[in-house]
Amino acid sequence: MEDLVGLVFATYPSWSHLVVRVGLGIIFFAHGAQKVFGWFGGHGLKATIAGFRQMNVPPGATVLAAFIECFGGLAMIVGFLARPSGLGLIVVMLVAVAKVHGRNGFFLNFTMTPGKGHGYEFNLALIAMALSIVIGGAGALSIDRIIAPLGE
């Protein structure tokens, strides 16, 4: 049991992981809150389900993805269950690349070319950030660190 706690929570007091974790958390919480609650200019869960249905994503998977973004983002901000949250966020981004962004190439569509969506470069950056947390833990000023501190 102790090994499982260490695997999930253990983290060094890394300030760089704090920066990555909080930045990642803010981005995902904001996007997830748009999907779940309609905050920050979003349309809420009902509209999110309808939009994802057009991409053949089942309602249950849509709700799960929206909740992972919102509450996984919140978990990142406070640094609680950061590794499992990071894994969930990586899966959501991989599905986003497979279902939406991959067909548009690598780059974001900064020119807003009609009929062309954004590529996957932003998704890749978010995946790298989340993977950093999965590998190294939540870092300094995290609840995970209080539960299972490593080093000093």
In a domain, 5, yes or no: no
How far apart CA 34 and CA 82 sit, in angstroms, is 21
Q: Please tell me the predicted confidence (pLDDT) of residue 16.
A: 97
How distant, in Å, are the alpha carbons of 30, 46, 66, 79 from that of 60? 21, 12, 10, 27
123 is a domain residue: yes
pLDDT in tens, 79-103: 999 999 999 999 999 999 999 899 9
Query: So what's the pLDDT on residue 1?
Result: 59
Prediction pTM value: 0.93
Query: How would residue 65 be classed by pLDDT, with cut points 50, 70 and 90?
Result: very high
In tens, the pLDDT along 129-139 reads: 999 999 999 99
Q: pLDDT-derived band of residue 152, with 50, 70 and 90 as boundaries?
A: low
Cα–chain center distance at 17: 15
Q: What total of structural domains would you count in the chain?
A: 1
Residue 49 domain-assigned (yes or no): yes
CA distances from 9 to 46, 144, 147 (A): 34, 5, 7
Q: What digits encode the pLDDT tens for the residues 28-53? A: 999 999 999 999 999 999 999 999 99
Model confidence over 5-27: pLDDT tens digits?
888 999 999 999 999 999 999 99
Instruction: Check whether 58 has a pLDDT greater than 90.
Output: yes
Boundaries of domain holding 73: 12-147
For residue 46, being part of any structural domain is answered with: yes
Average of per-residue pLDDT values in the chain: 95
Q: Give the pLDDT band of residue 112 (cuts 50, 70, 90).
A: confident
Task: Give domain status of residue 152, yes or no.
Answer: no
> Does some domain include residue 4?
no
